[in-house]
Amino acid sequence: MNVAGANWAGPPVYVLICTATDLTILTRTGTSTCDLSNLKVGMPADGAFSLSFDLRVPDDGLCIAAGDQGQVEAGGACISVEITD
């Protein structure tokens, strides 16, 4: 998985893997569905950062959250899996 960001005000940017499966749930629950023990840290240079890590996406999907320490800047994206028979 490659997570990239642009236009961040400054370092660090924390990236979390969350069990939320859509942005509505992620927005409502904040970091309570996120694995805080598996924190990734990006250090933006000129506002941009890129992180690469291995990730297993469960059948029901997951979300990735990113934000600065003060939670002034935050973003999220969700990955869904379509299983066909």
What is the structure's pLDDT at 71?
81
3-state secondary structure of 78: strand
Map 40-68 to HEC letters.
Answer: EEECCECCEEEEECCCCCCCCCEEEEEEE
**pTM (two decimals):** 0.84
Segments making up each domain of the chain, as ranges: 2-79
Q: Which pLDDT band, with edges at 50, 70 and 90, does 81 fall under?
A: confident
What is the structure's pLDDT at 69?
86
19-73 pLDDT, tens per residue? 999 999 999 998 899 999 999 999 988 889 999 999 999 999 999 999 988 888 9
